[in-house]
Amino acid sequence: MVTLKDIQQAQALLRKVAVRTPLVICKLPDGRQIFLKPENLQPIGSFKLRGAYNKIASLTPEQRSRGVVSHSSGNHAQGVAFAARALQVKATIVMPNTAPKVKMEATRALGAEIVLVGPASDDRIQKAEELEREKKLIPVPPYNDEKIIAGQGTMGLEILEDLLNPEVVLVPIGGGGLISGVATAIKESRIKAKIIGVEPEFAADAQASFRSGKIQSVSAESTAKTLADGLRSQSVGPINFEHIRKYVDDIITVKEHEIRQAMRHLLYSGRILAEPSGAVTTAAVLFHASELPPSDKTVAVVSGGNVEPQLFSEIVMGIV
């Protein structure tokens, strides 16, 4: 299990690498307000830089010389590519052929080699493992890793530094790395905030796992239906699930039209450009208040802002 000390050490390491994102107040249509944690402001447009850098920086010189391999639908790919370039390590990233073009191009521009596979998360996991064996590369998992979790958890420490005693913290869930880190940071700091995970209804594996007590998976066909490409993991990681069971209070799901409306609200009311995966927490506040604990201090993590320009334009205009 990741400890508070692990996260504090990651925070010291990341101090000159990751942007110290602020909390931004956002007004809701009914007069309520929430605090947004805009990770779209990171150099790669998402929180993934935190965990990727913490992981690669922990490697020995011999491991770095072999190069790293990872698999990602986009944001982790950019995080690994950015960290690898900064630390002078060769990176190979396995990505689905359905990944947003903007994420592929950004990853390639950072110097990583991209290997394309089918849309299922199992496809990219298997290919990454194959490359690891064949080329003796060092794996940098997108979520199922303690160094990754500790890096993502630095966001939780920042929330506590900026807001005294938050009451509810909403975190997107894909594979579970982000919520594992944030929940650990907050709960191990002895703060009584409720940690609520949010995922699309088409990729509701984390909710099913949380409620059954065992890791559940959903089909690639189902996850492909959500616009939230960063949350299309078919199941949470075992290490992540251990942290989720210990520290997370609940997991709720949101609908596709709610995600789209949340993106528009974030742009017009919060002045924040969010990708679908980053907007799920705001969607939860806007449309599922009855499923959330009452709170005057709610934080919604906006995990990223890497969205295809055409898709964003269509969503803003209400075309999709």
Q: Are residues 10 and 67 in the same domain?
A: no
Domain with 57, as residue range(s), is 49-139
For residues 240 and 255, state if they share a domain: yes
- pTM score, two decimals? 0.95
Determine the pLDDT at residue 248.
98
Residues 296 and 149 in one domain: yes
**Burial group, residue 229, by CB count within 10 angstroms (0-12, 13-18, 19+):** buried
Domain end among 139, 161, 195: 139
Q: Do 120 and 80 sit in the same domain of this protein?
A: yes
Active site residue 212: no
What is the predicted pLDDT for the residue at 319? 77
Looking at the fold, whether 77 and 189 belong to one and the same domain comes out as no
- The pLDDT of residue 317: 84
Given 90, 117, 139, the domain boundary residue is: 139
Same domain for 125 and 108, yes or no, is: yes
Q: Of 37, 48, 55, 147, which is the active-site residue?
A: 48
pLDDT at 120: 83
Same domain, 167 and 87: no
Are 185 and 310 part of one and the same domain? yes
Would you call 303 a catalytic residue per the annotation? yes
Tens of pLDDT along the chain (320 residues)?
Answer: 999 999 999 999 999 999 999 999 999 999 999 999 999 999 999 999 999 999 999 999 999 999 999 999 889 999 999 999 999 999 999 999 988 888 899 999 999 999 999 988 788 889 999 999 999 999 999 999 999 999 999 999 999 999 999 999 999 999 999 999 999 999 999 999 999 999 999 999 999 999 999 999 999 899 999 999 999 989 999 999 999 999 999 999 999 999 999 999 999 999 999 999 999 999 999 999 999 999 999 999 999 999 989 988 899 888 77
Following DSSP, what letter does each residue of the chain receive, concatenated? ---HHHHHHHHHHHTTTS-----EEEE-TTS-EEEEEEGGGSTTSBTHHHHHHHHHHTS-HHHHHH-EEEE-SSHHHHHHHHHHHHTT--EEEEEETTS-HHHHHHHHHTT-EEEEE-SSHHHHHHHHHHHHHHHTPEE--SSSSHHHHHHHHHHHHHHHHHSSS-SEEEEE-SSSHHHHHHHHHHHTTT--PEEEEEEEGGGTHHHHHHHHTS-----HHHHTT-S-GGG--SS--HHHHHHHHHH--EEEEE-HHHHHHHHHHHHHHH-----HHHHHHHHHHHH-GGGS---SSEEEEE-B----HHHHHHHHTT--
Instruction: Count CA atoms closer than 13 A to 73's CA, side-chain side.
Output: 24
Asked whether residue 124 falls in the same domain as residue 224, the answer is no
Residues 116 and 150 in one domain: no
**Which position among 46, 72, 295, 303 bears the catalytic label?**
303
Give the total number of structural domains in the chain.
2
Distance (Å, rounded) from C-alpha 174 to C-alpha 26?
Answer: 24
Q: Are residues 120 and 219 in the same domain?
A: no
pLDDT tens per residue, range 42-97: 999 999 999 999 999 999 999 999 999 999 988 999 999 999 999 999 999 999 99
CATH number at residue 84: 3.40.50.1100
Are 118 and 245 found together in one domain?
A: no
Last residue of a domain, one of 81, 106, 139: 139
